[in-house]
Chain A
């Protein structure tokens, strides 16, 4: 007759007690530790509550809202649709051009405004330059989280050249208020085309330098390969977008698959993660997708600069924006993913509801899924690879 083992009564009620191989019971507890809201590597005011078992993360509970600035409520109180654009700038402050464009595109579709071709090309050039600038920040800060201090400074040096181009055009370095409903605020100055082409020639060998120093560095690969693997079906279920989705192997880019503006007339390719050094969907894949997207953006910019037609950039800007009652949802591809604006108009001069669907907000929600079982150092890599900007997470 088999012996029945009677467990000590404490074991039955207390889940923290474990029975060791010699039969003794030891008590162990999981440690709850806070990462943030002030922390060098959470890229903003994000609080991650970690439940740890030694160095292993059992659970991650993100707490957001520290940067909530009531964008949607402000938008309802503006007396003019154009006045919302500076607020939209400040949502994802590292990709202001793309934010402005998404909102302006939504209002243009609501009012059925056609913008001149020159405006379309200028918007494409600015958006792609902004994409490169945003990726430089994302990759640089990711490197710094991994302990590589040098690429960060090199990438910021190169980003300064992009900011010089922006400052030359509209006077601002970070928050531009440039893309307006129906056009852009300033035409390109005369030296812009030459300087932008010089920049494209300048950056190509620099990307190769970054690859030599950081991307294919053995230590960096070991830190990021097979870490934070996001399977494709989980990514789609959690509505991840941008480099997160493409890093998981899903060939989906809104510029090609839900086309807007003149992207379909230009030659460029969508970069997808293939699991070259590890599993498909790990941090390294998301990193290499961003690096290759920068190269593709350079291609787009060069083509757009060559095709830039003449025209008046402010001819289609309406004097009064009073759309008919209706609603629209428009999404564009920003450096972080799918930025969508859902605008409901009730026929008056101010919007009735503006909902901003921020890609960083949606991408961040997947973090508890992909970090179970990682170590703290891996968690830093995962948060860095999701590439969040708290302004967009919290709006």
Chain B
């Protein structure tokens, strides 16, 4: 992708090239958000035995556009006693945290925003900026309920970073690289080479490692749902208790940015899990249906599948209480993942 763009005379080596490269995921994110809003609406409706929107476009496909237009023209209400600067800054900080992660996700063998060797490390680090944004939102709203939501959310995201990082570590140990392009390339041989099924290792090692990688993958999914603040981990925005949590005092464009950041975060988490465990842009059939453009299709398909699982789980399960949430992270997931890391390490070394 970079060579293709470089060949366009106006771009060449100027800064415009890099601006275009950085804007491409933004275009993707906006389109993806429109699609996912519709998917969530329809999936939740059919789980709940109802139809959702049917009139704005056939089966409501134009509804997300209508929602965006509505949010754009809404009045931006800010509480009189709120901290205006922080109130304005926090949605964009949360957005920056999620958008920054798009830089290191390999969308195809020919395109990755920034091909750094510390890809995974960078991803884990940049998604922590979201915590700062959320805390800022809760504090700046000058609303006790928002503050509650923000503090809970911060505690939750920080706690679930650790199981996520440990699960990622399992994949990294097998692929021996932190660079997501390298990890994806390693899984090119077909579905049997996917790290969730043990990776491209000799058969005995693969069979020994497989239970641990499956566990690590499931734990990564769970930690991912917790990172995105979705049910069963959505206590920070639990409608029935906190109205909308840290989002309460936001409306209009700023709320739209929060909303989009949440959906983008869902995809980031899904894409990371897909790249590390499900082969990323590699086709499950090996050589068949592979190539730079097919790679993009595959990673988007895998990411959307995991997003679908997240939506499905949201509308099925009740939510955990905040101390149960913390208990699950610290006393269940982290010991289990330590075991996985230790076991995988042992198997790889021996």
Contacts and interface: CB of A to CB of B under 8 A. Distances in A.
A contacts B directly (C-beta below 8 A): yes
Contacts of B243: 39-40
Given A147-B231, A150-B48, A377 B241 contact: yes
Given A40-B240, A147-B240, A377 B235 contact: yes
A149 B48 contact: yes
A219 B320 contact: yes
Given A40-B239, A41-B241, A377-B235, A150 B315 contact: yes
A154 B284 CA distance: 38
Contacts of B241: 41, 145, 376-377, 380
B238 interface: yes
A385 to B, nearest CB: 13
A92 interface: no
A380 B144 CA distance: 17
Contacts of A146: 240, 318-319
Contacts of A41: 240-241
Contact of A150 (B316, B322, B323): B316
Interface string A353-377: 0000000000000000000000111
A378 to B, nearest CB: 7
B49 A144 contact: no
B322 A375 contact: yes
A149 B315 CA distance: 6
Contacts of B321: 222-223, 375, 377-378
A154 B317 contact: no
Given A31-B144, A153-B50, A222-B324, A147 B315 contact: no
A338 B145 CA distance: 36
Interface of A is mostly: helix
Contact of B232 (A31, A147, A375): A147
Contacts of A223: 318-321, 324
B68 to A, nearest CB: 24
Nearest to A154: B49
Nearest to B233: A147
A143 interface: yes
Contact of A219 (B239, B317, B322): B317
Q: How large is the interface on B (under 10, 10 to 19, 20 to 34, 35 or more residues)?
A: 20 to 34
A307 interface: no
A147 B234 CA distance: 8
B320 A213 contact: no
B47 interface: yes
A220 B235 CA distance: 14
B194 to A, nearest CB: 29
B47 A150 contact: yes
A295 B342 CA distance: 51
Nearest to A152: B48
B318 A217 contact: yes
Contacts of A213: 316
Nearest to B144: A33
Interface string B232-266: 10110011110100000000000000000000000
A18 interface: no
A157 interface: yes
A95 interface: no
A53 to B, nearest CB: 13
Interface string B39-55: 00000100111100000
Contacts of A217: 317-318
Nearest to B314: A149
Contact of A220 (B48, B50, B234, B318): B318
Interface of A: 31, 33, 39-41, 55, 143-150, 153-154, 157, 213-214, 217, 219-220, 222-223, 375-378, 380
Given A40-B239, A223-B324, 4 more contacts: A33-B145, A145-B240, A223-B318, A223-B320
20 contacts: A33-B145, A39-B243, A144-B240, A145-B241, A146-B240, A147-B317, A147-B318, A148-B316, A150-B316, A154-B49, A213-B316, A217-B318, A219-B317, A219-B320, A220-B318, A222-B324, A223-B321, A377-B235, A377-B238, A380-B240
- Which 8 residue pairs across A and B have the least CB separation, nearest first? A147-B319, A41-B240, A153-B48, A148-B318, A146-B318, A147-B318, A377-B321, A145-B240
